[in-house]
């Protein structure tokens, strides 16, 4: 199946993913008594910004689809080898979904590492700006991050020729799990903690505290963090969430939407010897993208 068809199939599932994902996580939180975590003044202000990002990205979806299609065409013109869809015909569908899920998780890990580098951080800072992380935080991403993620997917798993149905099922699983791990639940998965990420594992990554910087980067499979040196066993830490230590606001939608452009302009100006003000660096001891495991 052509990559362009796969991308369009995933876009067709966008509305379903939004409705199902948000509904499931909201019901889950209410059932366990976590409704207060969603209705405080700070939580409502942050959730409003997260939903504004979802809505603005929805409006920009045709542009994103056009950009994706352009890169798909450019990628196809390179003539790089890829697997034929027929290679997957004999694979049982459940196993095919699992293979697609793991391939998806592998590229998500590496794009996440890049997003925590000096040049990737101005985009990803928007996601980390939420100072009251909950199920809606998964939708707080800049449109440019969506572009980067699709380009990484094209390069890293586009050659696999995976069927759209399996890709769609894996994408839905990733969406539901993302809503779960951003939820305000202090849950751990015990002996399965290295196999499937828990809310404690991922919410640790959102802490604005030095021990959490650039760690636990995997989306759903912590084993990738363990293999590549970025795993930290999460424990309770009395620290706020967000990215205020890097100067990133949490409830100003306009400033957040313009944030990447302003930061890149300052970075380029600094490189040219025109320093407007210090560039906001990624939280952590290093901002050059080299010490990602510290």
The residues spanned by each domain of the chain are 3-271
Considering the chain, what is the average pLDDT of its residues? 81
Quick one: pLDDT at residue 151? 83
Whole-prediction pTM value?
A: 0.81
Report how far residue 258's alpha carbon sits from residue 222's, in angstroms, rounded to the nearest whole number: 32
Residue 211, both tokens: 């021990």
Alpha helices in the chain (DSSP H): 3-12, 14-31, 36-39, 41-59, 61-77, 93-115, 121-128, 143-157, 164-181, 199-205, 223-228, 253-271
Q: What are 169-228's pLDDT values in tens digits?
A: 888 888 888 888 988 888 889 999 999 999 999 999 999 988 888 899 999 999 999 999
Share of the chain above pLDDT 90, in %: 37
């Amino acid at each position: 199946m052509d990559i362009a068809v796969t991308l369009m199939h995933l876009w067709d599932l966008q509305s379903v993913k939004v409705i199902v994902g948000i509904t499931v996580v909201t019901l889950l939180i209410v059932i366990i008594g976590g409704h207060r975590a969603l209705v405080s003044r700070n939580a409502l202000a942050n959730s409003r910004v997260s939903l504004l990002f979802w809505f603005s990205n929805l409006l920009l979806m045709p542009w994103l689809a056009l950009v994706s299609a352009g890169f798909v065409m450019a990628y196809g013109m390179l003539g790089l080898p890829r697997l034929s869809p027929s290679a997957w015909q004999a694979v049982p569908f459940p196993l095919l979904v699992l293979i697609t899920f793991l391939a998806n998780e592998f590229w998500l890990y590496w794009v996440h590492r890049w997003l925590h580098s000096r040049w990737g951080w101005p985009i990803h800072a928007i996601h980390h700006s939420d100072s009251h992380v909950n199920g809606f935080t998964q939708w707080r991403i800049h449109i440019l991050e969506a572009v980067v993620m699709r380009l990484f997917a094209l390069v890293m798993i586009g050659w696999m020729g995976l069927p759209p149905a399996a890709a769609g099922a894996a994408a839905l699983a990733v969406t539901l799990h993302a809503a779960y791990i951003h939820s305000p639940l202090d849950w751990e998965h015990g002996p399965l903690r290295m196999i499937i990420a828990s809310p404690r594992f991922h919410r640790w990554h959102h802490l604005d505290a030095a021990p959490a910087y650039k760690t636990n980067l995997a989306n759903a499979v912590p084993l990738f963090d363990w293999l590549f040196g970025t795993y930290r066993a999460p424990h309770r830490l009395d620290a706020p969430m967000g990215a205020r230590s890097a100067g990133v606001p949490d409830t100003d939608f306009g400033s957040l939407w313009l944030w990447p452009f302003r930061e890149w302009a300052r970075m380029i100006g600094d490189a040219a010897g025109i320093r407007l003000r210090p560039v906001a660096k990624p939280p952590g001891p290093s901002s050059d993208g080299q010490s990602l495991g510290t």
